[in-house]
Amino acid sequence: MQPFRKHTGIVVPLDKVNVDTDQIIPKQFLKRIERTGFGRFLFYDWRFSGDGKESGTKTGDFVLDAPRYAGASILVAGKNFGCGSSREHAVWALADFGFRVVIASSFADIFANNSLKNGLLTVRLSDEQVAEIIRRSKQIANYRLSVDLEALRLDDGQGFEAKFTMDEFSRHCLLNGLDDIGLTLQHEAEIAAYEAKHPVPSEMEIDMKTILAR
C-alpha cells in the first residue's frame, strides 16, 4: 500500500451531504475484475451524459471537470460521505482519479475502512470547518491545503488550519504503508490456537465437501 505522510494539493468542493458509493462509482462499472482503471468512471452519472455505458460524453458542468479544479487531489464534501454499498471500487475510483485525501464531517464506516486499505486519507472535521474549506475552495483560485498525517493537522497557508484525529493503529499503518494481512499473520500461533478450540462444525465440513466434489 502507498504510504501517506504529507500531502499538498488543490482542493475541490463537492458541496453535498450523504454522497453514496452508487454516485461515486455506478454499478455498471463493478463488473470489471481489475483493481485499476476506475478513475475515468468516477461520479460517472454526474459527469457524463449518455446511456451509462463506458462511451458517455462529458457534460463539463460537474465541479470535478471545471478547469479551475484541474489536478485536484483533495476532495471536500458534506456529512456521511461514502454511505451505502461496501464497494471498494469507490475508493479505487477516487484514488485512481488522483485523490489522496477526502475531507468531510463524517464518513460511512465501510468507506472509511476501505480508504485506509488503499492509502486514501479520510479527514474528519467539524461541520463549520468543512463549510469554511468549501467556502475558501470556491472563492480562492488555486486553493490548496497541506495535510500532515504525522502532525495530524492541515493548513492552507492563508490563515486556516485545523487539527484532526485518527486512531493510532490506523495512522501507523497509513504512515508506513503496512500490509495488514502481514501483520495479522504475525499472530499465526494465536489464530491456530483459536482454531484448535473452534473447529469447523462437522455438519458443515462433511456437507461442504460433497459440494466441492460435485
Partner 1 sequence: MDRQWAKLESMPRTLFEKIWDAHVVAAPTGQSALLYIDLHLVHEVTSPQAFDGLRANGRRVRQPLRTVATVDHNIPTTPRGLPIADAIAAKQIEALQNNCREFGVPLFDMDSAEQGIVHVIGPELGITLPGMTIVCGDSHTSTHGAFGSLAFGIGTSEVEHVLATQCLPQNKPKTMQILVRGNLAEGVTAKDLALGIIGRIGTDGATGYVIEYAGDAVRALSMEGRMTLCNMSIEAGARAGLIAPDETTFAYVDGRRFAPKGKDWEEALASWRTLASDAGAQFDRVIQIDAAALAPFVTWGTNPGMVVAVNARVPELTSFAQEGDRRAAEQALAYMGLEPGMPIENIAVDRVFIGSCTNSRIEDLRSAARVAKGQHVSPKVRAMVVPGSQAIKHAAEKEGLHRIFLDAGFEWRESGCSMCLGMNPDILQPGERCASTSNRNFEGRQGRGGRTHLVSPMMAAAAAIAGHFTDIRNWQFR
Give whichever of 73 and 85 is closer to partner 1, judged by the CB atom: 85
Q: How far is the CB of 74 from partner 1 (least distance, A)?
A: 20
Among 95, 108, 121, 154, binds partner 1 (CB under 8 A): 108
* 47-70 CB burial, b ≥16 within 10 A, e <16: bbeeeeeeeeeeeeebbbbeeebe
Single out the residue of 22, 132, 148, 155 in contact with partner 1 (rule: CB under 8 A): 22
Nearest to 107, CA basis, from 95, 99, 115, 96: 115
Q: Which of residues 56-75 bind partner 1 (CB under 8 A)?
A: none
The piece of 44-52, 57-65, 143-151, 157-165 that touches partner 1 (CB under 8 A) is 44-52
- Select the span of 95-103, 143-151, 155-163, 193-201 touching partner 1 (CB under 8 A): 193-201
Report DSSP state, residue 201.
P
Alpha-carbon distance 42 to 26, whole Å? 8
Largest alpha-carbon pair distance within the chain?
A: 67
Among 12, 72, 91, 95, binds partner 1 (CB under 8 A): 91
In contact, 160 and 133? CB cutoff 8 Å:
yes
Of the listed pieces 3-11, 26-34, 68-76, 141-149, which binds partner 1 according to CB under 8 A? 26-34
Q: How far apart are CA 174 and CA 2, in angstroms?
A: 8
- What SS3 class is residue 180? helix
| Interface ranges with partner 1 (CB under 8 A) | 16-18, 20, 22-23, 26-28, 30-35, 45, 51-52, 78-80, 83-89, 91, 106-110, 113-114, 117-118, 167-170, 172, 180-181, 183-185, 187, 190-191, 194-195, 198, 200-205, 207-209, 211-212
